[in-house]
Amino acid sequence: MKLVQTEEGFALYKEKTLTGRCAFRQEGDCTCLSLLWIDPAWRRRGVARLLLDRMLCEAAEWRVRTMMLEVRPSNGGARVLYAEYGFKRIATRPAYYPADDGREDAYLLSRRVSRSD
């Protein structure tokens, strides 16, 4: 796998195939994760962990204190992964995402960033 820094974050390739990418930005003492996308053929193969690990290292280098993100309540796999990384739900944003049956809430998750990340 080859990790490439992009304008928005990082992309991970296996040969010429994009397996996953992430986008994040710094806002004061917080890093906000705005995208974590994994090709369906590469899910549950460690791609998201590689990207999260790299983002946390980058956030620690920036000396930010917190990383935040939104996740759909229906995205059980992502919620389990984020919990394993220490993210905690701090709020709910009602009707945040479009959904087949109208709108879906978003859980706002947060975790501390430390220099050991």
* Residue pLDDT, tens place only, 26-63: 988 999 999 999 999 999 999 999 999 999 999 999 88
Structural domain includes residue 19: yes
Question: Structure pTM?
Answer: 0.90
Res 114: pLDDT: 84
Regarding predicted confidence, which is higher, 114 or 57? 57
Candidate list 13, 70, 85, 104, residue with the active-site label: 70
Q: Domain limits at 60?
A: 2-112
Q: Is residue 73 part of a domain?
A: yes
In the residue annotation, 82 being an active-site residue is answered as: yes
- Count Cβ neighbours within 10 Å for each residue of 34-58 and write b for 16 or more, e otherwise: eebebeeebeeeebbebbbebbbeb
8, 58, 82, 96: the active-site residue: 82
Which pLDDT score is estimated for 117?
62
Hey, what are 107's tokens?
A: 């859980």
Q: What is the mean pLDDT of residues 99-108?
A: 95
Q: State yes or no: is 70 an active-site residue.
A: yes
Q: How many domains does the chain have?
A: 1
User: What CATH number should be reported for the domain holding residue 15?
Assistant: 3.40.630.30
